[in-house]
Amino acid sequence: MPGYTLRPLFSAQQIQKRVQEMGVQIAADYPDGSLHLVCILKGACFFLSDLARAIERDLVIDFMGISSYGRGQTSSGAVKLTKDLDLAVEGADLLLVEDIVDTGVTLTYLINVLQQRKPRSVRIAALLDKPDRRMRPVKVTYVGFQIPDEFVVGYGLDYAEQYRNLKDVCVLEGPQVA
Ligand code: IMP
Ligand code: MG
């Protein structure tokens, strides 16, 4: 987008290395049971596809659509479910696959919705974690990288729906980016 610059933060290679490590750890932590990877659309789509292939055990993949942000980068505060899961989750181990945990509002809402369906467990795997911005306490069991309070795009993460297809995760710098 004109007027914005991208500063690389994590290269595609660094991301791949970390995602492989996360996959090995997740496979070791779930020795039995029905594991459901729940991809939070749209930002987690590339993370999900790489992470799922790094977890060498049986699993199923499902998708949940949620929108908590408007066109830009400020939270609207409201969370809306735009697509529900296809599969039943009672008795299953749910691993929510998220691009980034920021305020924690989205995941707090989602976990409440999913707990009502009586899964065996619910955990979170997030590529990125911005702990400085947390408004709701959320336990993120698997974190790719912790980052400072900067706005990042790429590898699924967007600004106004742009930049999701960048191979690297980059800090977006520009006129409206605080
Ligand atoms: P939360 O409810 O504030 O934790 O919202 C998390 C969601 O906000 C993420 O799934 C992203 O879609 C979006 N988000 C938060 N920080 C960033 C960022 O730095 N870049 C792009 N999207 C972000
Ligand atoms: Mg998201």
50 labelled catalytic: no
Residue 91 has what pLDDT? 98
Residue 2 has what pLDDT? 86
Q: Is 96 in the pocket of ligand 1 (CB under 6 A)?
A: no
**pLDDT tens string 30-47:** 999 999 999 999 999 999
Residue 72 has what pLDDT? 55
Number of Cα atoms under 13 Å in the Cβ half of residue 14: 12
Average pLDDT over residues 1-9: 94
Residue nearest to atom 12 of ligand 1 (CA): 43
Residues facing residue 56 across a β-bridge:
none
* Alpha carbons 45 and 50: distance in angstroms, whole number: 9
Average pLDDT over residues 55-73: 83
* Alpha carbons 24 and 153: distance in angstroms, whole number: 26
Mean pLDDT over each residue of the chain, to the nearest integer: 94
Residue 126 has what pLDDT? 98
pLDDT beyond 60 at 74: no
Q: Output the 3-class SS for 6-25.
A: EEEEECHHHHHHHHHHHHHH
pLDDT beyond 90 at 70: no
Residue 1 has what pLDDT? 86
**pLDDT tens string 144-177:** 999 999 999 999 999 999 999 999 999 999 887 7
Ligand number nearest to the C-alpha of 150: 1
Centre of ligand 1 to C-alpha 5, Å, is 19
Residue 94 identity (one-letter amino acid): L
| 158 Cα nearest atom in ligand 1 | 21
pLDDT beyond 70 at 20: yes
Residue nearest to atom 3 of ligand 1 (CA): 103
**pLDDT tens string 78-117:** 788 999 999 999 999 999 999 999 999 999 999 999 999 9
Q: Give percent of the chain above pLDDT 70.
A: 94
- The helix (run of H) or strand (run of E) holding residue 171 is strand 169-173
CB 68 within 8 A of CB 106: yes
Average pLDDT over residues 63-76: 69
CB 30 within 8 A of CB 56: no
> Considering 102, 129, 158, 168, which one is annotated as catalytic?
102
Ligand number nearest to the C-alpha of 171: 1
Residue 137 identity (one-letter amino acid): P
